Amino acid sequence: MQATDPSQAGLTDPFGRAVTYLRVSVTDRCDLRCVYCMAEDMTFLPKKDILTLEELDRLCGAFIALGTDKIRLTGGEPLVRKGVMALVRSLGARIGEGGLRELTLTTNGTQLTRMAEDLFAAGVRRINVSLDTLDPATFAAVTRWGRIEQTLDGIFAAKAAGLAIKINAVALKGVNEGEFDRMVAWCGEHGFDLCLIETMPMGEISGDRTDQYLPLSLVRSRLRRTWTLEDTDYRTGGPARYVTVKETGRRIGFITPMTHNFCESCNRVRLTCTGTLYMCLGQDDAAEFRELLRDPSVDDAGLAQAIRDAIARKPRGHDFVIDRRRNRPAVARHMSLTGG
């Protein structure tokens, strides 16, 4: 009987959950400044602190060898990173038996008019696009710098290129809570799924998150006044729980870290652009890989062992909470650094 190579065995955390999904932030930079994600006057990381694309590729390859079958590239805005398509093409070449099942991307859509066809050619088949509103004035207010026409043009360029699209919208009290019926109808018209997300207490922003927070349990009950929401077993490997809208045939996902802890089925870890691996979005415990990647004495076996050691520290769940008694974020780092 042939011996099993331990470096090829899968990753399992202390609670028996298989870790098969890696989210990779390729940059902390973004061309927008969404109010729930960043401060307007962000200070970004110096280039020397950022992993090179080759370092990111090597570390992703180590995860794939350990059983990771889904990678999502995020940011910041991943498509503003110079040369990022080289990484996309390298990871796309790993799609297939014994490698990746899926390579996906989360984007704000601003760069898609020029990059959507290249993404499809590289093996990406499904993307998430952040779009919190269909109202141009509200879009400008939420993103601070954005023009909705640029994002919409990108979305339709991606559709024309053959990419399946899911629209991500953060539910913000008093901002877009009156728009969700319109967004459901618009997504149905154009063949997009929709994912609604509760705002998360990450990073210092200007403003009070208790003023932003809108529970999705309330949103869902309001949607039921207009739409027939049918339960489904559909899953993408992420934290969203889906329903099908009977009238449109499209799906709505709900990501509810505040009103429903989704940690029991967590299969993912997050790698920042600096080489920090967070085993939980809502915890600060992390493993550092930048120095390992830059140490010529650390071979692939050493890298694999460091990954295993990190997964062995994955916690049961997060520490997210939003209330007025805790006027600081549960996690100090911004989502743009962690990987949205």
| Amino acid making up residue 38 | M
Least confident of 62-71, 196-205, 228-237: 196-205
Stronger pLDDT, 3 or 101, i.e. the higher one: 101
Report pLDDT for 199: 83
48-62, 206-220, 284-298: lowest mean pLDDT where?
206-220
Is residue 202 annotated as involved in ligand binding? no
DSSP assignment of 52-110 equals PHHHHHHHHHHHHHTT--EEEEESS-GGGSTTHHHHHHHHHTTBSTTSBSEEEEEE-ST
Give a yes or no: residue 7 inside a domain: no
222 or 256, greater pLDDT: 222
pLDDT digit string, tens, across residues 4-54 = 344 456 899 888 999 999 999 999 999 998 888 877 778 888 999 999 999
For residue 178, what are the CA distances in angstroms to 132, 211, 274?
Answer: 11, 16, 38
Structural domains counted in the chain = 1
Q: Is 313 known as a binding-site position?
A: no
280 is in an annotated binding site: yes
Whether residue 35 lies inside any domain: the answer is: yes
| Per-residue pLDDT band at 285 (split at 50, 70, 90) | confident
Identify which has the larger pLDDT, 259 or 76: 76
Average pLDDT over residues 102-108: 97
Q: Which domain holds residue 47?
A: 12-338
**Residue 266 annotated as binding?**
yes
pLDDT band at 330 (very low <50, low <70, confident <90, very high): very low
Three-state DSSP class for residue 334 = coil
Q: Is residue 3 part of a domain?
A: no
- Mean pLDDT of all residues in the chain? 87
pLDDT the model gives residue 40: 78
The answer as to whether 4 is a domain residue is: no
Annotated binding residue 114: no
Instruction: State the average pLDDT over residues 233-253.
Output: 91
Tell me if 187 is assigned to a ligand binding site.
no
CA 54 – CA 43 distance, rounded (Å): 25
- The pTM of this model reads 0.87
Q: Has residue 236 been placed in a domain?
A: yes
Beta-sheet strands, E only, within the chain: 21-25, 70-74, 102-107, 126-130, 164-171, 193-198, 229-231, 241-245, 251-255, 268-271, 276-278, 286-288
Q: Is 23 annotated as a binding residue?
A: yes
Q: Is residue 248 part of a domain?
A: yes
pLDDT at 293 over 60: yes
Q: Is 37 annotated as a binding residue?
A: yes
Does residue 5 form part of some domain? Answer: no
- At residue 324 the predicted structure's pLDDT band, cuts being 50, 70 and 90, is very low
CATH of the domain at 147: 3.20.20.70
Tell whether 76 is in a known binding site. Answer: yes
Is the predicted pLDDT of residue 102 greater than 60, yes or no?
A: yes
Q: Is 30 annotated as a binding residue?
A: yes
pLDDT at 236 over 90: no
Q: Which residues pair with 30 in a beta bridge?
A: none
pLDDT for the residue 39: 77
Q: What is the pLDDT of residues 152-210, one digit of tens each?
A: 999 999 999 999 999 999 999 999 999 999 999 999 999 999 999 988 654 454 455 46
pLDDT at 226: 97
pLDDT at 58 over 70: yes
Residue 273 assigned as binding residue:
no
Compute CA distances 89 → 85, 95, 303, 327, whole Å.
6, 10, 23, 43
21 annotated ligand binder: no
Q: pLDDT-based confidence at 149, cuts 50/70/90?
A: very high
